[in-house]
């Protein structure tokens, strides 16, 4: 009997499902892509039932779910509803990656981790309350780093920390501190403490000057996720991937993006290896670590 085709349900929170996510899915080996816009927790159940009840438990590894869209927090709520809809052996593997936030965060932390030992490192995450920054902070805390959560708003920073506490437990409060500043020079003290800095701010906004970065004597790795000029971290080029400048290794948005794409494709392909996988921030990162280890072993 011929193998059944791989079917991916693309559940998107926006008015138009992401063409980016659709193309990556097809390039990852999906045979049939079923895309649905404007998905919400209150309307997702019939879509999941359609996937669950059309194939027997021994064939459900051939049907999977991808949750995306720009409303990242809604996507997390959809994930919870999807998991609550499954019962017994009737379940499908699920990946959540709203606006690429999980795969981008995973790629950034995997890349930076080539140059530092996280339990011995303080990391400054600029734009730390946004979708990517908050997920980078989550991964760093899990790895044992001390995190300075950079924001212009103390209230937003504290709310982000409380969300991390809800996910990871009360010990987070000992590992994450808000770092609040409204002007570049106000970041000097935090940058001086950091062994790693991640720029996750709004596109086209310079957060730190090259002078300030050069004066940071403890800084060993800098990651700028802004691909729109000017750079978030001045002096870092978008294509940089581990470019050494003095004692510091630099990564730009396109350099990290190459690794992000590898992680994204690997994650999608892995959905069809079983029918019970849940790929969220942490599990996508673990896939990224596997890719990094394979690249090191192969010498690439």
pLDDT score at 296: 58
d(CA 23, CA 111): 24
3-state secondary structure of 15: coil
User: How many CA atoms lie within 13 Å of 165's alpha carbon, on the beta-carbon side?
Assistant: 12
Q: Which two tokens stand for residue 275?
A: 């029918």
| All structural domains of the chain with their residue ranges | 7-100+259-298, 104-257
pLDDT score at 2: 54
Residue from 21, 223, 27 nearest 107 by CA: 223
Q: Consecutive 10-residue runs of the chain (300 residues): their mean pLDDT? A: 84 98 96 98 98 94 97 96 97 97 98 96 95 97 95 91 92 91 76 94 87 92 93 94 96 96 97 97 96 64
Strands (E), the chain: 7-12, 32-36, 63-68, 93-96, 122-126, 146-151, 176-180, 196-199, 221-224, 241-245, 248-251, 278-279
Say which CATH topology domain 7-100+259-298 has.
Rossmann fold (3.40.50)
Residue from 270, 236, 287 nearest 25 by CA: 270
User: In Å, what is the CA distance from 60 to each residue of 3, 44, 57, 79, 298?
Assistant: 12, 18, 5, 18, 34
pTM (two decimals): 0.94
pLDDT score at 4: 86
Q: 104-257: what CATH class?
A: alpha beta
Beta-carbon neighbour count of residue 76 at 10 Å? 17
d(CA 272, CA 29): 10
């Amino acid at each position: 009997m011929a193998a059944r085709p791989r079917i991916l349900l693309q559940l998107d929170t926006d008015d138009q499902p992401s063409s980016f996510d659709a193309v990556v899915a097809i390039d990852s080996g999906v045979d049939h892509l079923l895309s649905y816009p404007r998905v919400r927790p209150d309307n997702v159940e019939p879509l999941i039932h359609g996937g669950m009840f059309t194939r027997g438990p021994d064939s459900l590894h051939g049907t999977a779910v991808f949750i995306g869209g720009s409303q990242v927090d809604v996507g997390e709520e959809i994930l919870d509803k999807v998991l609550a809809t499954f019962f017994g052996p009737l379940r499908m593997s699920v990946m959540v990656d709203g606006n690429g936030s999980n795969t981008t965060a995973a790629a950034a932390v995997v890349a930076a981790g080539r140059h530092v030992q996280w339990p011995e490192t303080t990391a400054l995450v600029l734009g730390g309350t946004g979708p990517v920054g908050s997920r980078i902070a989550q991964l760093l805390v899990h790895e044992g780093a001390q995190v300075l959560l950079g924001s212009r708003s103390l209230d937003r920073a504290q709310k982000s920390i409380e969300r991390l506490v809800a996910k990871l437990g009360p010990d987070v409060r000992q590992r994450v501190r808000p770092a609040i500043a409204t002007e570049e020079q106000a970041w000097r003290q935090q940058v001086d403490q950091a062994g790693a800095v991640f720029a996750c701010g709004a596109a086209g906004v310079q957060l730190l000057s090259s002078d300030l970065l050069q004066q940071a004597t403890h800084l060993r790795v800098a990651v700028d996720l802004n691909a729109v000029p000017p750079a978030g971290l001045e002096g870092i080029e978008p294509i940089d991937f581990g470019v050494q400048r003095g004692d510091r290794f630099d990564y730009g948005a396109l350099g990290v993006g190459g690794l992000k794409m590898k992680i994204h494709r690997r994650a999608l392909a892995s959905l069809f290896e079983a029918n019970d996988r849940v790929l969220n921030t942490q599990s996508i990162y673990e896939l990224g670590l596997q890719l990094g280890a394979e690249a090191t072993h192969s010498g690439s």
